[in-house]
Amino acid sequence: MVSTRSHPSAFPPPEASPTKRAGSKDPTPGPTSLGSTNNNNNSALWHHAPRRAILYWLYISLPLVTWDASYVFLRPHSMPGGSLHAPIFSPYKIYCDVDYNYGWPAWEDGRGFTAAQSLLNVAETLLYVAYLAIVLRAPATGNSAKSRKVVKGSDAAKAVILGFSAAVMTLSKTALYFANEYYGGWENIKHNDWTTLFASWIFPNTMWVIFPTYMTYYFGTEIARGLEAATGSRSKKAQ
């Protein structure tokens, strides 16, 4: 019989299996992990579920913005007295007297600001349309009463970036519109009384500050959380 009492050292314990080692250090990333490439489990993909408030705002605002841009680029035919004014652009007869940017004073003076901001309207509208195209083709989850569209994987990343970019454009452009009046001595609106100014200019334009601000925060938060999740996952793998 061979004795093992004089063995110089104890046998080393068996190494943990690769599965256990990976499981102890790298838990499976959750649904908010940006950059996950697990194609066999859709629940592990980063996802985006747009808020109903955002969708409703886009359904209302995009037709209005398209209508507004059409008026601007069809001037002077879309203006009061023009061949295209009635019936499509008839409401602008009132607004032209409130904001001279849309009336004859700006047109006759050859001011380019109105058309320039409308050109940005077109750009941001295209971004919103691209966002909606991704969202609306995504499947809905939940029951019919409380179902929500959920975009997953790379489509979710594209949708959030498009939404964030468009919202920042809208917010910046609206801030510029206010700034243009402020630094121009309120030249285009100072002739109004306060009731008319609030109802026809301040309140409507403020809506294009409130909702884009909320959208910028919402999309920006999603992007930040996704990047944090991806960075944290990679940091654990590097340890």
- Is residue 188 a part of any domain in this protein? yes
Closest CA relative to residue 238, chosen from 2, 25, 80: 25
- Is residue 12 a part of any domain in this protein? no
Per cent of the chain over pLDDT 70 is 76
Total structural domains within the chain: 1
Q: Which amino acid is at 17?
A: S
Which of 135-139, 163-167, 183-187, 235-239 bottoms out in mean pLDDT, i.e. has the lowest? 235-239
Higher pLDDT, 163 or 17: 163
Which residues neighbour 205 within 8 Å (Cβ) at sequence distance 6 or greater?
A: 174, 177, 178
**Looking at residues 192-214, what average pLDDT do you find?**
96
- Is residue 36 a part of any domain in this protein? no
| E strands, the chain, in order | 47-48, 140-141, 148-149, 151-152
Q: Is 80 exceeded by the pLDDT of residue 50?
A: yes
Closest CA relative to residue 101, chosen from 92, 91, 86, 111: 111
- Is residue 124 a part of any domain in this protein? yes
**Looking at residues 5-18, what average pLDDT do you find?**
47
**Residue 149: which domain range?**
49-238
- Is residue 25 a part of any domain in this protein? no
- Is residue 14 a part of any domain in this protein? no
**pLDDT digit string, tens, across residues 147-160:** 678 898 899 999 99
Mean pLDDT of the chain: 83
**pLDDT digit string, tens, across residues 159-187:** 999 999 999 999 999 999 999 999 999 99
Closest CA relative to residue 74, chosen from 66, 84, 64, 65: 84
Q: And the tokens for 14?
A: 């068996």
- Is residue 8 a part of any domain in this protein? no
- Is residue 103 a part of any domain in this protein? yes
pLDDT category at 47 given cuts 50, 70, 90 is: confident
The torsion of the CA quartet 196, 197, 199, 201, rounded to 10 degrees, works out to 140
32 and 229 in contact (C-beta within 8 Å)? yes
CA distances for 109 relative to 78, 104, 153, angstroms: 17, 8, 51
Q: And the tokens for 21?
A: 């080692």
Q: Is 50 exceeded by the pLDDT of residue 5?
A: no
